[in-house]
């Protein structure tokens, strides 16, 4: 039986892992970022020696897309140096390292959109256009170049029952307002935390290594996503579709970050339709409220 060590256990993906491992009755220990600072190699070594896991699930990350523009040093410290610390120690101890990355490692250029109309495959060249994406790309690079046994999962538009995310923000704003403006020219598809965790566990049981994309089936804009959230939750909101130029982002966002799930499907994993995934997420959010 695999024994797990989970980092970043206070975040939405880390908390989902804790929920999943508890439900499955699997042995694990989980640490939030103050308990296990992945930027400190001595702390990482101490925890791995203490826990002696077979698998380290790294959910610790700097995830503030706009904040990374002014805090790029901090973003790279966590997303690159932290990953290198984990990879180095996992290599020396024989622990498998599972790491999560993002659709924002891709540029979303018109050329890429033409070349990959059904989504970026795992082997597509990365070319991020903001500091957050560059820090995550750097983390991917040190992982690939490490000698450890690794599994890299890329997700997009991640939403879960825990923490902050687009779906929960739309639920909150939709309950407060009659009208909302949402961007309609950024195209992708959500990944739901429960689905990502379940499928990553399946890949581990299959002893897979390398890069895998885990998102839902579909091709939508943020406005499409918001519209379905309001529809499924019964919120009456007048939705105005706007362009990226009409919203004051600090960091530039790629316009196309659809991920292809073909590689995961070839291993036997079924891709979840995004509308069905949203329905399950809304049920989970409601359960957490009660």
Q: Which residues are catalytic?
A: 132
Q: What are phi and psi of 155, to 5 degrees?
A: -125, 165
Return the axis-axis angle of helices 222-233 and 166-176, rounded to nearest 10°: 60
| CA nearest neighbour of 51 among 81, 29, 36, 71 | 29
């Amino acid at each position: 039986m695999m024994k797990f060590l989970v980092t970043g256990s206070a975040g939405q993906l880390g908390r989902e892992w804790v929920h999943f491992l508890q439900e499955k009755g699997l042995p694990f220990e989980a640490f939030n970022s103050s308990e296990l600072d992945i930027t400190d190699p001595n702390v990482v070594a101490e925890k791995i020696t203490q826990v002696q896991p077979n698998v380290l699930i790294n959910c610790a990350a700097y995830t503030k897309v706009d904040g990374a523009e002014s805090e790029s040093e901090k973003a790279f410290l966590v997303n690159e140096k932290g990953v290198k610390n984990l990879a180095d120690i996992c290599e020396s101890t024989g622990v498998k390292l599972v790491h999560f990355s993002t659709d924002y490692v891709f540029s979303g250029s018109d050329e890429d959109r033409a070349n990959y109309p059904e989504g970026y495959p795992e082997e597509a060249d990365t070319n991020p256009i903001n500091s957050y994406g560059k820090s995550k790309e750097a983390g991917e690079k040190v992982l690939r170049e490490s000698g450890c046994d690794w599994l890299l999962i890329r997700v997009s538009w991640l939403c879960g029952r825990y923490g902050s995310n687009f779906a929960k923000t739309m639920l909150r704003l939709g309950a407060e307002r009659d009208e909302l403006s949402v961007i309609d020219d950024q195209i992708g598809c959500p990944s739901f935390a429960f689905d990502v965790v379940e499928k990553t566990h399946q890949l581990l049981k299959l002893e897979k290594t390398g890069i895998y994309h885990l998102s839902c089936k579909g091709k939508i804009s943020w406005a499409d996503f918001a519209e379905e959230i309001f529809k499924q939750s019964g919120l009456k909101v007048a939705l105005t579709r706007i362009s990226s130029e009409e919203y004051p982002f600090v960091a530039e966002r790629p316009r196309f970050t659809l991920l292809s799930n073909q590689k995961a499907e070839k291993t036997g994993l079924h891709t979840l339709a995004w509308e069905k995934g949203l329905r399950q997420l809304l049920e989970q959010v409601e359960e957490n409220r009660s």
